[in-house]
A and B are shown apart, each in its own frame.
Chain A
Amino acid sequence: MNFLLGRGGALLLLAVAIVFPLISQNQYHIYLMSLAFIWTMATAGMNLITGYTGQLNLAHAGFVAIGAYTVGLLTVDYGLNFWAAFVLSGLLAGLIGFFVGIVSLRLTEHYFAIFTLCVGFIIWQLLEKWEGLTHGVHGVIDIPAPADLFGISFASPTAQYYLVLFFLVVTLWLMHRIVTSLLGRTFLAIRNSEQLAEALGIHLMRNKVLSFVLSTIIAGYAGGLYAGSVRFLDPSLSGVTITFDMVTYLLVGGIGTLFGPLVGTLLVIWVSQYLQFLQDFRMIVFGPLLVVLVIFFPRGIVGYLQQKKMERAARLAEQAGRAAGERKVEAKSNA
């Protein structure tokens, strides 16, 4: 069990992900899985600012949409190569994220959530109303699939699946590097108490903006991949419901855990796949689920497992300590 929560579990998941297309053969399932991976990436970005740094960003879908529209518009309207547009997608999202961040992160808690809610709404309105740039409600159609790279073609769903998987692994590896570094601990300190973090000499604004920009860059790249995968965009991608979906993924999997976004996204997307008959009414299930989770299981699945692991470790340490103590007593009485 301990093995599964460490590096072993990560490698096992990767192995399963690599063989999945070979086993499944169902093109639709492979496509759905790669979409789930894209959302995992986006949710991992949200996790950085919301889970690790403690700032509920309700404009996250807006940044996914900025990345996606960057790829969509540059390839369709300006004939740019997919990869050139893709590189720009994360950078542009990050740049806009920087400017939104330096304004919004001056606000704390509720004010930040409300402000970002409004930012998300502004992004959505701009995508919908600025027809000259974004095609408005008609959306962007016929986005090319990712162009061939190093002789590899990404036309088939399986090839795209591996492409998305590659970026997902890179994202999660980066997240692992960030959260285990001093920077990650800085973010956690900010989440746990801003006053305390400040007293420790942490520059709040700089670190919060850094976390925000990193999260929007990841969101932008997730959006870029989304554009190449779905190949159709409309303004609803930036809608607040998409952000709420990501909040659900995050909460089910475990907010502030490395694999929470992965577990939550895959689980919710596959479960909703089997709840397809409910269509728009699936929120009758997910709405209360969100409330129940937040009241009774605020740590989510991965958080719950980690807690169990820690409790077991604590118990073992206690037993070992007691055993050592008894030996000492025995040794004393023998002497």
Chain B
Amino acid sequence: MNLFFQQILNGLTLGSVYGLVALGLTLVYGILHVPNFSHGALYMVGAYAAWVLMVSVGVNYWLAMLGAGVVVAIISVLCERVVFNPLRHAPPIHDKIAAIGILLFLEAVVQAIWGADFQRMPAPYPGVISFMGLFMPIQRVLIVVGAIVLMLGLHFFLKRTTTGATIIAMAQDREGAFLVGIDANKVSMITFAIAGFLAAVAAALFAPINLVYPGMGHLVIMKAFVIIVLGGMGSIPGAIVGGMIIGFAESFGAFYVSTNYKDLIAFSLLVIILSLRPQGLFTKGMR
């Protein structure tokens, strides 16, 4: 029973982290129709920023998380201004290649400054909560609660504020949004900032129970892509549900099938699902 519960908690943790990263990806896709391959690098930079703020600058964990979020949001907006905005009318293959360029650049810069070694972020809350005979590491609970808070926050921002409504309007219908006077540049920048912030916070939440290294974004971003393909590109509930599916598939797969092949599970799932339903799981004919 306890082992089974551990797998559930594990799946929830992974699903929360993947979901947060996938949310940023899907928001950006909704606005610009760019699959942002550099999003994983932003996640990685977020982890490094939090680690540096905590270890070298010595600030508190929560401040480090916030700082990392702000730093990455700024980088993300810069990417939008310098790279994606000039490319918005280019053939679709070009912005994908440009995103790959950003990814390579950010990774190389981080590696040049801090080296390729694995870094360990000190756990701010190393304890374990025991509840009715079930043990829960505090950090994992934090990840799940943090993700829920952020997702609710995003939901209210998008549904209840005018700025949020402009984002949704632009994702639904670009021309229609222009027609009612929505500033595309502003919406685009806000979206990239939110995406960067979410990626950095996800990284800062996950880093204490994981390692920090330049290639840490690769797997996460690919899984985030799997998630938004499953959930429908641009769909926000899809990103959250998809994140949980992948998180649970991975934690139960690692436990009941094989740890060695656990990273393969998400991708095999994608291959199988796309073979049967090329339009994704929750979408109606959107390819």
Could you tell me which A residues sit within 8 Å of B by CB distance?
50, 54, 56, 103-104, 106-111, 113-115, 117-119, 121-122, 125-126, 129, 240-241, 244, 247, 251, 255, 280-284, 286-291, 294-295, 298
Chain B residue nearest in CB terms to A289: B101
B83 at the interface (CB under 8 A from A): yes
B102 lies within 8 A of A284 (CB): no
Chain B residue nearest in CB terms to A131: B260
B83 lies within 8 A of A295 (CB): yes
5 closest Cβ contacts across the A-B interface? A287-B105, A290-B101, A283-B108, A287-B104, A291-B101
A294 lies within 8 A of B98 (CB): yes
Chain A residue nearest in CB terms to B101: A290
Query: Within the complex, what minimum Cβ distance (angstroms) separates B188 from chain A?
Result: 16
Residues of A within 8 A of B225 (CB): 114, 117-118
A110 to B263, alpha carbons, bound, how many Å? 22
A54 lies within 8 A of B93 (CB): yes
Residues of A within 8 A of B35 (CB): 110, 113-114
A121 lies within 8 A of B267 (CB): yes
B165 at the interface (CB under 8 A from A): no
B186 at the interface (CB under 8 A from A): no
- The main secondary structure of chain B at its interface with chain A is helix
Query: Within the complex, what minimum Cβ distance (angstroms) separates B118 from chain A?
Result: 16
Could you tell me which B residues sit within 8 Å of A by CB distance?
29, 33, 35, 82-83, 86-87, 90-98, 100-109, 111-112, 116, 218, 222, 225-226, 229, 233, 260-261, 263-264, 267-268, 270-271, 274-275, 278, 287
Query: Within the complex, what minimum Cβ distance (angstroms) separates A130 from chain B?
Result: 9
Contact of B90 among A107, A114, A251, A298 (CB under 8 A): A298
Residues of A within 8 A of B111 (CB): 280-281
In the assembled complex, 5 residue pairs joining A and B whose CB atoms fall closer than 8 Å, in A order, are A106-B278, A110-B33, A122-B271, A287-B104, A294-B90
Contact of A280 among B82, B83, B98, B116 (CB under 8 A): B116
A283 lies within 8 A of B278 (CB): no
A295 lies within 8 A of B278 (CB): no
A129 lies within 8 A of B100 (CB): no
Chain B residue nearest in CB terms to A243: B100
B233 lies within 8 A of A119 (CB): no
Chain B residue nearest in CB terms to A125: B264
Residues of B within 8 A of A54 (CB): 91, 93
A291 to B29, alpha carbons, bound, how many Å? 19
Residues of A within 8 A of B271 (CB): 103, 115, 118-119, 122
Query: Within the complex, what minimum Cβ distance (angstroms) separates B134 from chain A?
Result: 32
Query: Within the complex, what minimum Cβ distance (angstroms) separates A282 from chain B?
Result: 7
Chain B residue nearest in CB terms to A106: B278
Query: Within the complex, what minimum Cβ distance (angstroms) separates A20 from chain B?
Result: 30
A121 lies within 8 A of B274 (CB): no
Known: A283-B104, A287-B102. A298 touches B96 (CB 8 A): no
A289 to B218, alpha carbons, bound, how many Å? 21
Known: A56-B96, A114-B225, A281-B111. A122 touches B267 (CB 8 A): yes
A118 lies within 8 A of B222 (CB): yes
Residues of B within 8 A of A113 (CB): 35, 96
Residues of A within 8 A of B94 (CB): 294, 298
Known: A115-B274, A287-B101. A107 touches B287 (CB 8 A): yes
Contact of B100 among A103, A109, A126, A290 (CB under 8 A): A290
A291 lies within 8 A of B83 (CB): yes
Residues of A within 8 A of B222 (CB): 117-118, 121
- Other than the given A108-B287, A114-B35, A283-B107, 12 more pairs (CB < 8 A) read A107-B278, A113-B35, A113-B96, A117-B225, A118-B225, A121-B263, A129-B261, A280-B116, A281-B108, A283-B108, A284-B109, A291-B101
Contact of B98 among A114, A129, A291 (CB under 8 A): A291
Residues of A within 8 A of B278 (CB): 106-107, 111
Chain A residue nearest in CB terms to B228: A114
